[in-house]
Structures are given as C-alpha cells and as structure tokens.
Amino acid sequence: MSRTFVACKSKVHNRGKPPEAFLNEIIDWAINAPDKIFEANPIHDIYSNVVADLGPWKSQTHRKAAMLEVLRVLGGFESSWDWNAGVDTTNPNSNTPCTEEAGIFQCSGNSMSFDASLKELLRQATGETDCKTFILETKSNHKFAIEYCARLIRFTVDHHGPIKHKKINPWLRRDAVAEFEGFLSS
C-alpha cells in the first residue's frame, strides 16, 4: 500500500526524520497486532506517561495510533531508526548479553523479567528464551522487535531512559497520531 507521510515524517530531536520503510512497517504491524496490546490496564504504562500529550483516548484505533507515535519517536531517540543498533557504549551496565541493548528500540534481554508474556513472545518466535537469541531476533525480525517493545512499555516505563525521563514527550505529535489513525482506518 502506498502511503503519503507528512506529520509522521516530522523531525525527532537531533535524530532527523524517520525512514518511510520504518513507518510502513509499524503501521503494517499495528493493523494485525493483537488488540490486547492496546487495551486499558491498571498498570502505570506508556499510555499513562503520554496521555497529557496524546490523549484522552477516544477509541482502540486512537490508542494504536498513539502507540505508533511513541514507537516513531522512541526509535529515533534510541537508535536513529537503526534496526541493527548494538550495545549502548555509554552505559557501564551493558556488559552482559542480558543487559546489552539491541536493535532499533534498544531493549535488553533482562527486560523479559517484567512479564512472562515477553519471554513467551521470544519462545514463539525462536523456540529459545536466552539473551543471545533475544539480541539476534531483535535485530533481524522487525515484527518481533516492534511487538516486543510495544508489549514491554505496557508493563513498565522505566526500561527506556527517554520514556522514563519523558524526553520523548516534547517530540510526540497529535497530528502524527491523527495521520496514523487515518492509515489504520483505511
């Protein structure tokens, strides 16, 4: 499907503009993603962190679009949208396969401890649940990386510094959410 991006191509901090291929991948993922990922829950999660910027939530499609906007900005902050990004060399705690950040959203294998469903997602994708497999899968399987991060930020806002410290919030755009909603609805 050919999409024309305007607001979704907005600059993110000093990282530039997201590639259209990335934007298309997150939209295509969201169209078929399980609704459970976007439903309200009692946990302080990403929706709690960005409701002032992108809410209030009007529908499931609006919630999906807001998630895509978070992923758009987070991917810029964490890796400048590099699917193969590796360990954060400025983080002294990134010194084992389980603490090493990997991929576009810079998730680490130890994040699987936040909920058993995260480890199960890796098991379903690879048949394994070890951190070295997590690193490889996060970099090579884009759908896995997107879904893993979306699920993770529903359990915690503390795993990603740019989310925890609300550094992504000034770059979140309501017009990008509206544009994502249009793509999800068509």
0.85 exceeded by the pTM?
Answer: yes
Look at 45-49, 95-99, 115-119 and tell me which has the smallest mean pLDDT: 95-99
pLDDT digits (tens, 9 = 90+) for 158-171: 999 999 999 999 99
CB-based contacts of 146: which residues, under 8 Å, 6+ apart? 25, 26, 29, 71
% residues pLDDT > 90 (the chain): 92
More reliable by pLDDT, 60 or 94: 60
Q: Specify the pLDDT at position 126.
A: 98
Instruction: Label residue 46 by pLDDT band (50, 70, 90).
Output: very high
Distances (CA, A) of 48 to 86, 110, 163: 29, 23, 11
Q: Specify the pLDDT at position 91.
A: 84
Q: Specify the pLDDT at position 141.
A: 98
Residue ranges per domain, the chain? 18-185
Number of H helices, E strands in the chain: 8, 2
Query: Mean pLDDT, to the nearest integer, of 59-80?
Result: 98
Q: Specify the pLDDT at position 1.
A: 59
- In the DSSP assignment, the letter for residue 116 is H
Q: Which residue type is seen at 131?
A: C
Q: What is the dihedral of CA 10, 11, 12, 14, to 10 degrees?
A: 180
Beta strands in 8-136 (DSSP E): 101-102, 107-108
